[in-house]
Structure 1
Amino acid sequence: MMETATSLLELGGPVVLILLAISVAALAVILAKVFQFSSARVGRHAQVRQAVSQWRSGNRTKAAQNLLKDRSLSAALVRSAMDAIQMLDQQPLASQERDIREERLREEISARAADRLFGLASWLKALDLVTQIAPLLGLLGTVLGMIETFQTLQDSGASANPAALAGGIWVALLTTACGLAVAIPVSVAVTWFETRLEKERAALEVLLTGVFTAGAGAPEASVPVSGTP
């Protein structure tokens, strides 16, 4: 297997070496993002939804306590909102003043959520760049290989060997195959990460809205379930 890989590197030339380096870097980024998403427990909202339902039904202390053991991104943000609203409730504020403070609090929590989601989205643009340049690099290697092959054909004149010409062409096409082999799995990974982020963003909006509307004295209701698995 090592001999085959070495042979492919020798045949593909510097373009394949560049694609190999890009693929290793992309794999490292993908693994780091998987760990980051797993640590933030992206997409896991069952316990948070239950806590928000308890909050809206009036059991606020238990709702906040149930989120203490949840290490997910959504639990941290929802718990912050709950704690801040409980602090507002303990202050003797006029109705208008309370509404103003609650609106500021909501903006602050929303900004914090946007910042956390932005952190989760880091390096996705770099992966997206890999999906764009890898096929182009492969195509560049193919074009350079074809140029070299036809130069050899021209130098050979009438004594050109068709077998040698065919061999030169498949070697030239090798770089395109390598470029696609790098771009396709990276593209799948980027799409998966972006989809999870969009679902997480929608879920956070629903959960935080459930907390703040209940805090404003909205009628009791269950929290809508988002499309996040």
Structure 2
Amino acid sequence: MTLIQEAITRVLDLGGPVVLLLLCVSVLTAALVIYKLWQYQAARVGRHRQLATAVAAWDNGDRERALKALGESRSYLGPVLRMALTSPQSAELSERVDAEAEARFAQLERGLGALDMVAQLAPLMGLFGTVIGMIEAFQKLQSAGSSVDPSLLAGGIWVALLTTAAGLAVAMPTSLVLSWLTARMQRERVFANQALRVVFAPQVSAGSQPAAAAQISPEAGVAPPVGPVAHAG
């Protein structure tokens, strides 16, 4: 406990309470980033090889292969596509599947708002600490009167600028990670939208007959006459 107290005291003496606050924010931000990386890995974000195979098979009318490939997938979008493939297709089903996919996206995007807030506020917090430090430095300079020591002013300025550096050090990697996670979720939305549109409008319906066979009437049992029928005289 004594070591922690000494470390906190040194941080306070070096950069003041703003640097200490930024240090706490950086620890919480790192923990959140690690959690998001684990969450994306567990949900298999971006790993949709089986789902792509299932959608391609469904688009070609191979229902059995589509369901088999879907069963091999461990992606978080697997249940959404299973609902779309196994339920009777309708406009209501399309809206429900879209809502289910959006709910899963929202769950994966939870926490990105906090990262965005850190990326925007950390530089401002550092600048705030710098302004406070500069005010204190000039107050000390004013109190010194005619016996001004340049080292006193220089020491106060570099300590004040330290808070800006700390804010930027927290904000820049956070912004990079946030951009990367946001881009991944954007690609997920594109993939899900394309897959669901293919499922609800495949090129070849499952179980459909070829076009040439469909021209023959199953009730008649014979092909219709091609030319005019001659009447008996």
Could you say whether these structures have the same fold, taking a TM-score greater than 0.5 normalized by the shorter chain as the test?
Answer: yes
Equivalence for 1:18: 21
Q: How does 1:76-115 map to 2 (within 5 A)?
A: 76-84=79-87, 88=88, 102-115=90-103
Find the aligned partners of 1:28 and 1:18 in 2 and give their Cα distance: 16
Distance 2:203 2:79 in 1: 18
Structure 2 gap segments, 5+ residues each: 209-233
Q: Once the 2 structures are TM-superposed, how far is the Cα of residue 7 of structure 1 from its aligned partner?
A: 4.1
Correspondence for 1:98: none
Work out which of the residue numbers 72, 84, 91 in structure 2 matches 1:69. 72
Corresponding residue for 1:192? 180
Amino acid at match of 2:196: L
The one-letter code sitting in structure 1 at the alignment partner of 2:37 is V
- Which residue of 42, 45, 52 maps to 2:45? 42
Amino acid at match of 1:11: L
User: Which ranges of structure 1 fall in alignment gaps of 5 or more residues?
Assistant: 89-100, 220-229
Q: Are the equivalent residues in 1 in contact too, given 2:59–2:205 (CA < 8 A)?
A: no
**1:195 maps to amino acid:** A
More moved, 142-151 vs 32-41: 32-41
Q: Pairwise CA RMSD of aligned residues?
A: 2.2
Task: Output the CA distance in 2 between the equivalents of 1:64 and 1:214.
Answer: 15
Distance 2:61 2:72 in 1: 21
Structure-1 residue corresponding to 2:169? 181
Runs ≥4 in structure 1, deviation > 3 angstroms?
2-9, 215-219
2: CA distance, partners of 1:75 / 1:210: 15
Structure 2: distance between partners of 1:54 and 1:71:
18
Identity %: 46
- Alpha-carbon offset, residue 133 of structure 1: 1.2
In structure 2, C-alpha distance between the alignment counterparts of 1:34 and 1:80, rounded to whole Å = 27
Amino acid at match of 2:195: L
Q: CA deviation at 1:4?
A: 9.0
Amino acid across the alignment from 1:150: F
Aligned residues: 203
- SS of residue matched to 2:71: coil
* d(CA) in 2 for partners of 1:173, 1:40: 42
Matching residue's letter, 2:18: V
Superposed displacement of residue 8, structure 1: 4.4
SS in structure 2 at match of 1:82? helix
Give the SS at the match of 1:43: coil
* Residue of structure 1 equivalent to 2:119: 131
Matched, 1:27 2:15: no
Alignment of 1:149 with 2:137, yes or no, is yes
Matched-pair contact (CA < 8 Å) for 2:48–2:73? no
TM-score by length of 1: 0.82
Kindly indicate whether the alpha-carbon contact (under 8 Å) linking 2:61 and 2:204 is maintained by their aligned counterparts in 1: no
Question: Which deviates more from structure 2 when the two are superposed, residues 204-213 or residues 49-58?
Answer: 49-58
Residues in 2 aligned to 1:6 and 1:31: alpha-carbon distance in whole angstroms: 28
How far did residue 9 of structure 1 move?
4.3
Structure-2-length-normalised TM-score: 0.81
- AA matched with 2:23: L
Of Structure 1 and Structure 2, the greater helix share is in: 1
* Alignment of 1:207 onto 2:207: no
- SS of equivalent to 1:158: coil
